Amino acid sequence: MRIAVGSDHAGFEPPPPLYKPSVIAHLERLGHEVIDCGTDGPDSVDYPDYAEKVCQALLTGQADRGVLICGTGIGVGIAANRHKGIRAAPCTMPEAARLSREHNDANVLCLGRRLLTLEECLEILDVWLSTSFSEGERHIRRIKKLG
Ligand code: RB5
């Protein structure tokens, strides 16, 4: 898959492991093509700017899915969900990641550096990437209502 990855400075928050580089390395190990949407270091930036870059990568067809990281996963989630066609899911457990794919066909996963260990993030990411949308009639109907 082509996966756009973006974070604010929380993706580079010490102590190591630094979450954004670790998530990118994990995705590449799995054979995915990563589109790195920044940021690139620990200097303070604004999460809406990186949510915007990831969403644009999806909406222009450059990426199939997106992964966003901020302190909580909430800020990037709020920002991403302002875009028509983006269904961003802040997830703090694998079950939420699974359901966000099966029921909501979530196309962006939002992870919180300050809420999750890196190991938890990668487990959530793996579940999210390996779960398909159920294609259930009721779920399609509900997603259509999102516009
Ligand atoms: C940045 O300090 C922090 O506010 C941001 O990463 C995010 O958690 C916002 O929702």
Whose CA is closest to atom 2 on ligand 1?
71
Is the C-beta atom of 79 inside 6 A of ligand 1?
Answer: no
The residue ranges of every structural domain in the chain are 2-146
The token duo for 80 is 């991403």
Residue 72 CA: nearest ligand 1 atom is 8
Q: Is the pLDDT of residue 141 over 90?
A: yes
pLDDT at res. 147 = 86
Note the pLDDT tens digit of each residue in 9-19: 999 999 999 99
Q: What does the alpha-carbon distance between residue 5 and residue 7 come to, in Å, rounded to a whole number?
A: 7
Number of helices (H), then strands (E), in the chain: 6, 5
Percent of the chain surpassing pLDDT 90: 99
What pTM, to 2 d.p., does this model score? 0.97
Task: Give CATH for domain 2-146.
Answer: 3.40.1400.10
Question: How many whole angstroms from its chain centre is CA 118?
Answer: 14
Ligand 1 pocket mutation pick from 13, 47, 113 by most atoms within 8 angstroms of CB: 47
Buried residues in 83-117 as b, exposed as e (16+ CB within 10 A):
beebbbbbbbebebbbbbbbebbbbbbbbbbeebe
pLDDT at res. 44 = 98
Sorting pLDDT into bands at 50, 70 and 90, what band is 89? Answer: very high
Give the mean pLDDT of 46-52.
Answer: 98
Is the C-beta atom of 72 inside 6 A of ligand 1?
Answer: yes
Note the pLDDT tens digit of each residue in 21-45: 999 999 999 999 999 999 999 999 9
Is the C-beta atom of 19 inside 6 A of ligand 1?
Answer: no
SS3 54: helix
Q: Is the pLDDT of residue 129 over 90?
A: yes
User: Of 3, 8, 25, which Cα lies nearest the Cα of 114?
Assistant: 8
Residue 10 CA: nearest ligand 1 atom is 6
Catalytic residues: 70, 103
Is the C-beta atom of 71 inside 6 A of ligand 1?
Answer: yes
Give the mean pLDDT of 72-86.
Answer: 98
User: Of 8, 20, 10, which Cα lies nearest the Cα of 122?
Assistant: 20
What's the alpha-carbon Rg for the chain, to the nearest Å? 14
